[in-house]
Amino acid sequence: MISSPSSEANPLRPFFWLSFAAAKEKLYITNSYFAPDDLMGSVLAERARAGVDVRVLVPNEHTDVKPILYAGRYRYEALLKAGVRVFEYQPTMIHAKAVVVDGSWSIIGSANMDIRSKELNQEDVLGILDWEFGSQVERSFLADLERAREIRLEQWRKRGWWERFFVLFEEQI
């Protein structure tokens, strides 16, 4: 699947949305620039409310684009309230972009969960329907979680005013 600013169609948005909406048991996402729009945020929250184990792994302060970090964090409260589990990778910047749905459908490529990847940048992703490959992607995801810190709703609500300021600021971008 390719996304390009030269194309009238932006196929990545429906491709990701349909993949997320199809999750019945597990939906694991690793993304280096995670700033989902309303549509993507809604489908993640809806899947979590439906009992799907939705986990998202993103960078922490070790990122090269702080505005995207704060834009993504703007969605945390709604996602956490819905039951999405959010993890921030600790050792260094994580730059992977991978999705695995129910252990069998995987998406690997260059696309991030931000508006630029879906509509402006030239991005490629590959969808792979294969249990063996999906289990490898899932194992890699779970291994990365061991080096991540889970963001919990109670903790998120207690963050300092400086963090709140940046998250509110990024809502306007």
Give this prediction's pTM.
Answer: 0.84
pLDDT for 11 equals: 78
| Top-level class of domain 2-171 | alpha beta
pLDDT for 136 equals: 97
Express each pLDDT in 81-105 by its tens digit.
Answer: 999 999 999 988 888 899 999 999 9
Outline where DSSP puts E strands in 5-154: 26-31, 53-59, 85-89, 97-101, 105-109, 123-129, 148-151
Count of Cβ atoms closer than 10 Å to residue 75 Cβ? 24
Q: Which residues contact 13 (CB under 8 A, 6 or more apart)?
A: 39, 40, 118, 119
What is the CA 165 to chain-centroid distance, rounded? 22
pLDDT for 130 equals: 97
Express each pLDDT in 34-76 by its tens digit.
Answer: 888 888 999 999 999 999 999 999 998 777 777 777 777 888 8
Alpha-carbon distances, residue 108 vs 42, 118, 123, 149 (angstroms): 22, 14, 11, 23
Q: Which residue has the higher pLDDT, 135 or 11?
A: 135
Domain ranges of the chain: 2-171
Q: Which residue has the higher pLDDT, 148 or 168?
A: 148
Q: What share of the chain is helix, strand, coil (3-state, %, to 5)?
A: 45, 25, 30
Alpha carbons 157 and 173: distance in angstroms, whole number = 22
pLDDT of 1 higher than 60: no
* Residue count (the chain): 173
Kind and range of the H or E element at 3?
Answer: strand 2-3
pLDDT for 84 equals: 97
Q: What is the dihedral of CA 35, 15, 143, 62, to 10 degrees?
A: -20
pLDDT for 160 equals: 60
